[in-house]
Chains A and B, each alone.
Chain A
Amino acid sequence: MIGQKNEKQIELMRKAGSIVGKTLTLMRDSVRVGITTRELDKIAFDYITSQGATPSFLNYEGFPASICASVNSVVVHGIPNDYALKEGDIIGIDIGACYKGYHGDAARTFMIGNVDEKTAQLVRETKRCFFKGIEGLKAGDRVGKISNAVETHAKKFGYGIVRELVGHGVGQNLHEDPQIPNYGSANSGDFIPVNCTLAIEPMINMGKAKIFLKNDNWTIVTADGKPSAHYENTILVTKDGVEILTLMDGEEIDD
């Protein structure tokens, strides 16, 4: 059952989303050679809490940090640590903020200095997968419309599409119905009701789709060790279209 939001709830979702977007903006401005993922986590925690919100991920099913920091071959759920970013790295940063009981959830993959062209293309096209996924989307469409559009775009480049991890509804809980895979038939899945909020998140591997969970029980890596990129926004689906709630300041859409 996909939950719908009333006007008041939508306002709270917008606020939570805007805190996430601002935190991602701070991350964009902070990532550089030499900074550790733990330092980035601290910056995010300080900002989110300064806005009267709480980091959604901290202690979520035992997750020990405010952000997921996933470098290079880490697909998602990387735990911030003392790793210092290096020239040529890519880092996926996933952030959630809970404001007055409502969660915003979004992720970006940032490039550190000069990244090789193949990897840079993966990052760009993963972002484009998201925008293909929401193109023309409105209430009454099926979840499969998103899934299929993401898959179709990623396949053009021969990328591996992670199958075990999916987007999701988001609201009073971080994970709500429906699950939104990044693959599948356009005529599959639930119908999307008006005024629901969804987190759509392509996770795209340069190599094969296969992934593994590391012994810390969180970090998910590509099985072939090749890079993986992640791009996610929380969106509001209305009868006419889509409103993106978690954009960064000055972010170009589908560049």
Chain B
Amino acid sequence: MTDIKASIGAIVRATAGRDEDGLFIIINVIDHEYVLIANGENRTIKKPKKKKLKHLKFLGFVDENIATLVSTKRLQDADIRKSIKSFE
């Protein structure tokens, strides 16, 4: 059975904790177990949430634009909000 890769730009749904059911974008991959997620609102680029991959549901969509913005260090909270909105 295929494993799911945590990629920057992936849209995920939180399945546990205070953020349960919210949509987020992975903005950094710490290791095999942990990533940083943000939604541009209460979880911002400056204060992202460290989350266990186990507590995220991957939705099969990676926003390549977000990945590019992260790699060029130009990502802003508005980009994240826009991306999540377009996914909803």
Contacts and interface: CB of A to CB of B under 8 A. Distances in A.
Q: Do A and B bind each other?
A: yes
B70 to A, nearest CB: 15
Contacts of A77: 1-2
A201 interface: yes
A213 B32 contact: no
Contacts, number: 58
Interface residues of B, number: 14
**Max count, chain A CB within 10 A of own CB: residue among B1, B2, B59:** B1
Contact of B60 (A96, A181, A220): A220
Contact of A165 (B5, B57, B61): B5
B7 A177 contact: no
Contact of B2 (A56, A94, A177, A212): A94
Interface in A46-90: 56-57, 60, 63, 68, 76-77
Interface string A200-219: 01010000001111000100
Contacts of A105: 1
Contacts of A175: 1, 3
Interface in B1-21: 1-5, 7, 10
A163 interface: yes
Contact of A164 (B1, B32, B57, B62): B62
A217 B57 contact: yes
A238 interface: no
Contacts of A167: 2-3
Given A164-B10, A211-B60, A201 B5 contact: no
A164 B67 CA distance: 13
A181 B59 CA distance: 18
A168 B1 CA distance: 9
Interface string A100-139: 0000010000000000000000000000000000000000
B2 A179 contact: no
A242 interface: no
A166 B5 contact: yes
B34 to A, nearest CB: 14
Given A179-B32, A212-B60, A213-B59, A165 B3 contact: yes
Interface in A206-254: 210-213, 217, 220, 230
28 contacts: A56-B1, A60-B1, A63-B1, A76-B1, A77-B2, A105-B1, A163-B62, A164-B4, A164-B10, A164-B60, A165-B2, A165-B4, A165-B5, A166-B2, A166-B5, A167-B2, A168-B2, A168-B3, A174-B1, A175-B3, A177-B32, A179-B5, A211-B60, A211-B61, A212-B61, A213-B58, A213-B61, A230-B2
Interface of B: 1-5, 7, 10, 32, 57-62
7 closest Cβ contacts across the A-B interface? Answer: A213-B60, A168-B3, A165-B2, A166-B5, A175-B3, A212-B60, A76-B2
